[in-house]
Amino acid sequence: MKKYISFISLFIFGTACLYLPQVHAAELKKSCIKANPYAAGETDPTLIGLYQQLCDKSAKKNIPLQHELNTQIAKRYVELGSHLKALNLIDQLHRQQQYNQTLTDLSFMAGIAISSNALQQMRSTEVRALNETTYPQAKLLAENIQFAKPALAPVEFKSHTVSNTKNSKKQTAASTKRSTTTSTKTKNVVKSAPIKKTENISTRTNTASSNPFGSLKNN
């Protein structure tokens, strides 16, 4: 009997876990899902919360708020990996004449993610390279990305600064070492230089004049 009860308890728990996402999805009204088809089947709490705000009566008459919420929803789609939904929602905003840097960045990231997934499919599953149709497009994109590369990314700037500091310290230490070595060599040369003895001229003169036959030798 206890085993039977335990089995029923496990079955109920498993069923509850299975239908829990559907309970979250049911939180959105049918009218909201009908007005926002991309919301159908979504279970992410953050996404559902954004859709609930979008379907609220206060947002129906506030067009700027609707645009802002749709932008946040597109961003959330990108974070969740639903890149096609994000692009479709961005395209919808563009048709409403909504253009800004956030939408451009989201569109770029979603497009890059889709392209990366396709390239991974080519290389790992299909085991092939880009062909004469896809390679020029990929090359053009790579060139454009290189052209649009920021002057110095934050991480690169930090590394560059640290590298310059280290190089400066190394150069200073090397310069100091060279100066010390040169100074030491100069002192050694000065110390080791031979000292010429000055001959006593007066001694030589006196010696020559003291010889009585010196005048005969000179003659």
Q: Parse the chain into domains and list their residue ranges.
A: 1-51
Between the alpha carbon of residue 128 and those of residues 121, 137, 159, the distances in Å are 9, 17, 37
Quote the Cα angle for 17-20-22, to 5°.
Answer: 135
Taking 70 as the pLDDT cut, the residues of the chain under it are 1-26, 153-219
**C-beta separation of 42 from 51 below 8 A:** yes
CB 73 within 8 A of CB 102: no
Give residue 151's pLDDT: 83
